A = this chain, B = another copy of it.
């Protein structure tokens, strides 16, 4: 006699194949443009298998999100191995690097990052769930770092604005390929340049923030 675990992922080969294909295609095309047909074709599975294993397209998307989130954060921990005692400048550097890696890398571990980046600029119905489960703690991590860097009396709103300036830069470099490759053929900001990009964004942001500290007294 055998007991079947609920949602046990190892039981079904088909389920795994669908998850694999779905992760890839959702990351490439986005939720609405991806078709269950393509996913099943690529997984070598029957269309009805999605209904059986995941109820419907939404269920599949949710399962993909949950599954690859774990993989993603295992592969690229947000603190990037930094201890809590480290300086905030280094924390910021680590945060940005892990963000870029998660969003710009290729293969399985980056699929979640791509989906997340997509949801940031074009939210689907799954966005509410993502905000609570992933984005909020992630964002709090960033605002914590920013708070340390800013004047302690800085208002919450200022912290948030600065945090979003950082997120915005990271996100944009992720989407920049189409425009950069057209504006300056031959040049690119891809996963090969993650170290360069990390250094740039950190530098660009940090010196703005430091300056903030000084000028915060003089200015309004």
Point out residues on A near B: beta carbons under 8 Å.
30, 32-33, 118, 120-123, 127-128, 131, 135-136, 139, 157-158, 160-162, 164-165, 167-173, 175-176, 178-180, 182-184, 187, 189, 197, 200-201, 203-212, 215
Chain B contacts of A32 at CB under 8 A? Answer: 32-33
Q: Report B-chain residues with C-beta under 8 Å of the C-beta of A210.
A: 207, 211
Least CB distance, A47 to chain B, in whole angstroms: 10
- Known: A136-B183, A164-B173. Is A205-B207 also a contact (CB below 8 A)? no
CB pair A204–B200 under 8 Å, yes or no, is: no
A174 CB, nearest partner CB in chain B, Å: 9
Instruction: Give Cα A182–Cα B121 distance, bound, in whole angstroms.
Output: 14
Residues of B near A157 (CB, < 8 A) are 187
- Cβ of A161: which chain B residues have Cβ within 8 Å of it? 189, 197, 200, 204
Chain B residues whose CB sits within 8 angstroms of the CB of A136 once the complex forms: 183
Query: Of B123, B127, B183, B203, which contacts A208 at CB under 8 A?
Result: B203
What B residues does A180 contact at CB under 8 A?
160, 164
Q: Chain B contacts of A118 at CB under 8 A?
A: 122
CA distance A53 to B138 in the complex (A): 48
Contact A164 B172 (CB under 8 A): yes
Given contacts A120-B172, A164-B169, A164-B176, 10 further A-B contacts (CB under 8 A): A120-B179, A158-B200, A160-B187, A161-B204, A162-B204, A171-B171, A204-B212, A205-B208, A207-B210, A207-B215
